[in-house]
Amino acid sequence: MKPHDLMGVEFHFLTPGFLWAKIESMRRMLKKYFGYESFLPGQEEVIRWVLEKRDGLVLMPTGGGKSLCYQLPALIRPGVTLVVSPLIALMKDQVDGLKNNGVRAEFINSSLSFLEINKIQQAAENGLIKILYVAPERLVLPPFIDFLKKINLGLIAVDEAHCISEWGHDFRPDYRNLKILRENFPAAPILALTATATERVKQDIIERLKLNKPKIFISSFNRPNLIYKVRPKRQAWENLLVIVEKHKNDSVIIYCFSRKETENIAARLDSEGYQAKAYHAGLDSEMRKKVQEKFIRDEVQIIVATIAFGMGIDKPDVRLLVHYSLPKSMEGYYQETGRAGRDGLQSECVLFYSFGDTKKHQFFIDQITNKVVRQSSERKLREVVEYCELIGCRREYLLNYFGENAISCNGCDNCLTSREEVEATVISQKIMSAIIKTGERFGGKHIAEVLRGSQNKKIKSWKHDKLSVYGIEREKSAPEIMEIIRYLVGKGLVIKDQGRYPTLSIGKRGREALKKRQVIKLPKAKESKTADYQTDKLFEKLRRLRKVIADRTRVPPYIVFNDVSLKQMAKLKPKTGAEFLKITGVGEEKQKRYGQEFLQAINNYKKRPAPSTYEETKRLWKKGLNIEEIVEKRGDTKGTIINHLEKLVQAGEKINLARIKPKEEKFKIIKAAFEKSGGKKLSPVKEILGEDYSYDELKIARLFLIFSTPDR
């Protein structure tokens, strides 16, 4: 029988009629179970390959739809699809989502009791399960392998396959045991899936999983819905607050370097009225589970996590992802930013950059005894610094890093910020002269300090305070001078070496410019073209309904419907069941479960001009509602409502706050603590008073301390 070539893929041993029947079945099931009319790029090709029982390696970006590549074949092929996943919480999310779509799925891991595991295994043996998720450590247990031999394994999917390689950014020793799958189940096709893998990691995956003549499927690494931004780490806390406030109704992840920093940032955000929690390896497993559960159920808005501790979540509606500290590699950065906007809606990825942060990473790199690994880690760190100091397109750099050609994206800060060139001859000459006079052996920070006339010991020890360039540029800040240096590097006038401590020298073009006193023009930022995110009121109403249903059915809100579906509902306003079924993400099962409630909410919605958020709080307060009642009515946090009251009072509004004044004894203690701290900030007062006083109590007391007038 001749092979049939379709969509560039050879399909053997299938008659044309059978093949097209399978394709039609795929499309019917895609809508019935997952609510989609069409496949995302790359999915259909992978699924067809898998249906022919062939091994494959899939490189597809986070949010690109990797899971469907094995979930849909599982529904078409006979037998059970075994999915190996390293993250317990992610397993639960995926199984909850599949069950909600009407798919028979279960997971087995250490969170279950012996009786629960036994019950699931019995169901699998009786043909009652189509997809079974397991943790990799389970595969070294002989009784579990014996159980797998009793069921018909139609497909083995290895998710996060990069974990098998010590050259990957997230190596897991348990993944080394996965070779046992090919040894014990030679007839079952294996599909390995990952979002990031270098050439070396790809080969490692193929060899260690013993994949048989696999086809490698590589989708574009481009995430067009993500906007990449780098901000200088100056006044980082104040800038973070501005960014978070812009996303005050959205889910946010903030990555920090240390556990202590995560807890500090989370506490400060909490004091500002945001629902924020720290998440790191130092917390016990029960606390981590609790925090994660609250985040995926939209009961906590912001997670502040360590870079070293990944979050195994499948939450699709993270709209802001912040790196408050420098990531250690571009692979890690790509993987972490990939947790934003998994539903395809526009989301922001902001990185706060300070070259000083490299020293924290360098300290740990210095502890690595293997010379090859140490040099590799240093190179990866240099690449991150290079990305941060770019004056060109960040997306282009990111995609080129993974071997993909790209053009300027119009989706990063450098592309979105229109720049005009201004003359910068004098400052450029000063910088290049300082580089030459200091011997072309120092970095940008040292040059900036020389020009600014710094008194630090290093400058004096090198006698650079005696140079003619010392102190000749005191008007500009060190970060401003360093930014100009980056532009000079970009123009090829200054050369930055690639060593562990990058030094600056003057290139041929730079020496010529100095000698001939050429006019030098450098970019200066103009107005940004970024648009503000506007929230649709019907969308917000549907989000609140989704939360009510999610709480009732004990699943995360996005498992009911994701934001893409809600936005379509808000825009198209379906009136009938047939119209509702046309919404992306609405399959037959979800139509049955939720259709009536959502249609009722949409049909009852009457658009009317909405008052400002402060005016609405003022109206409810003057109506006699207390803070808790306003929180219930508006869906905001207690801290947010207190913030509203504070802003209203600051604006001169006559608001009677008497009913929330703390009891006199407590008020005196808080007042004394504010006086002792010598300011109006909450964190120092909290440190003085400890856990007996909440940030909300301190905020309320502060209202009376600042605005102590008779009617309040």
Tokens of 6: 């379709």
HEC sequence for 252-312: EEEEECCHHHHHHHHHHHHHCCCCEEEECCCCCHHHHHHHHHHHHCCCCCEEEEECCCCCC
**What is the end-to-end Cα distance of the chain in Å, rounded?**
89
- Over residues 410-436, the mean pLDDT reads 86
pLDDT band at 433; cut points 50, 70, 90: very high
β-strand partners of 193: 58
Provide the pLDDT for residue 9. 33
Residue 176 pLDDT > 80, yes or no?
A: yes
**CATH code given to domain 537-604:** 1.10.150.80
Question: Tens digits of per-residue pLDDT, 217-253?
Answer: 988 888 889 999 999 887 888 889 889 988 988 999 9
Q: Looking at the predicted structure, is the pLDDT value of residue 15 above 70? A: no
Spell 192-203 as b/e; 16+ CB within 10 A means b: bbbbbbbeebbe
Average pLDDT of the segment spanning 156-172: 79
CB count within 10 Å of CB 360 equals 14
In the predicted model, is pLDDT for residue 712 greater than 60?
Answer: no
Name the DSSP letter for residue 132. E
Q: Does position 534 have pLDDT exceeding 50, yes or no?
A: no
pLDDT tens-digit series, residues 41-76: 889 999 999 999 999 999 988 777 899 999 999 998
pLDDT band at 645 (very low <50, low <70, confident <90, very high): confident
Q: Are β-strands 494-496 and 504-506 bridged in parallel, bridged antiparallel, or unpaired?
A: antiparallel
Buried-state track 61-91, b at ≥16 Cβ within 10 A, e below 16: bbbbbbbbbbbbbbbebeebbbbbbbbbbbb
Q: What is the pLDDT of residue 164?
A: 85
Cβ atoms 660, 700 nearer than 8 A: yes
Range 239-244, long-range pairs (CB < 8 A, 24+ positions): 239/352, 240/265, 240/322, 240/324, 240/352, 241/272, 243/320, 243/322, 243/348, 243/350, 244/269, 244/274, 244/302, 244/320
CA quadruple 630, 633, 636, 638: dihedral, nearest 10: 30
Which pLDDT belongs to residue 221? 85
Task: Please tell me what DSSP assigns to residue 412.
Answer: B
CATH 3.40.50.300 spans which residues of the chain?
A: 4-218, 226-411
Q: Per mean pLDDT, which range of 324-338, 369-383, 515-529 is the poorest?
A: 515-529
Task: Tell me the mean pLDDT in the region 424-450.
Answer: 93
Asked whether residue 427 carries a pLDDT value surpassing 50, the answer given is: yes
Residue 377 to residue 364: CA distance in whole angstroms: 10
Q: Which residues pair with 190 in a beta bridge?
A: 156
Residue 15 dihedral angles phi and psi, to the nearest 5°? -75, 155
Tokens coding 477: 């800040």
pLDDT at 692 over 90: no
Q: Is the pLDDT of residue 368 over 70?
A: yes
Asked if the model's pLDDT at residue 408 lies above 90, the reply is no
Q: What is the pLDDT of residue 50?
A: 92
Give the dihedral of Cα atoms 89, 91, 92, 93; nearest 10 deg.
90
Distance CA 415, CA 180 (A): 48
- Res. 6: pLDDT tops 70: no
Separation of alpha carbons 144 and 121, rounded Å: 9
Q: What is the pLDDT averaged over residues 661-686?
A: 84
CA-to-CA distance for 361 and 18, rounded, in angstroms? Answer: 56
What are 301's two structure tokens? 């808005």
Domain at 425-519, CATH class = mainly alpha
Residue ranges, comma separated, of all CATH 1.10.150.80 domains in the chain are 537-604
pLDDT at 100: 92
Mean pLDDT calculated for residue range 408-433: 83
pLDDT at 390 over 80: yes
- β-pairing, 153-158 vs 347-353, is unpaired
Average pLDDT, the chain: 85
- Output the CATH code of domain 4-218: 3.40.50.300
What is the model's pLDDT at position 401? 87
The predicted structure's pLDDT at residue 65: 87
pLDDT (0 to 100) of residue 686: 83
Cβ atoms of residues 240 and 324 within 8 Å? yes
Sign of CA dihedral 603, 604, 607, 610: negative
- Has residue 166 got a pLDDT over 70? no
For residue 500, what pLDDT band results from cuts at 50, 70 and 90? Answer: low
The two structure tokens encoding residue 266: 């989370």
Q: Which residues share a beta bridge with 318?
A: 251
Strand partners, 420: 524
- Enumerate the CATH 1.10.10.10 domain ranges in the chain, comma separated: 425-519
Check if the beta carbon of residue 674 is closer than 8 Å to that of residue 680.
yes
pLDDT greater than 60 at residue 283: yes
pLDDT in tens, 538-597: 898 899 999 999 999 988 999 999 999 999 999 889 999 999 999 999 999 999 999 999
DSSP state of 434: H
What is the C-alpha to C-alpha distance for residues 516 and 504, in angstroms, rounded to an integer? 21
Residue identified by tokens 């399909």 is 11
Query: What percent of the chain has a predicted confidence (pLDDT) above 70?
Result: 90
Cβ neighbours of residue 102 closer than 8 Å, sequence gap 6 or more: 32, 33, 587, 588, 589
pLDDT, residue 23, reads 63
Q: How many residues does the chain have?
A: 712
Tell me the three-class secondary structure of 353-367, residue by residue. Answer: ECHHHHHHHHHHHCC
Closest C-alpha to 341, from 77, 61, 703, 9: 61
Question: Looking at residues 156-163, what average pLDDT do you find?
Answer: 90
Q: What's the pLDDT score for residue 25?
A: 76
pLDDT at 565: 93
Asked if residue 711 has pLDDT above 60, the reply is: no
CATH for 226-411, among 3.40.50.10260, 2.40.30.10, 3.30.70.260, 3.40.50.300?
3.40.50.300
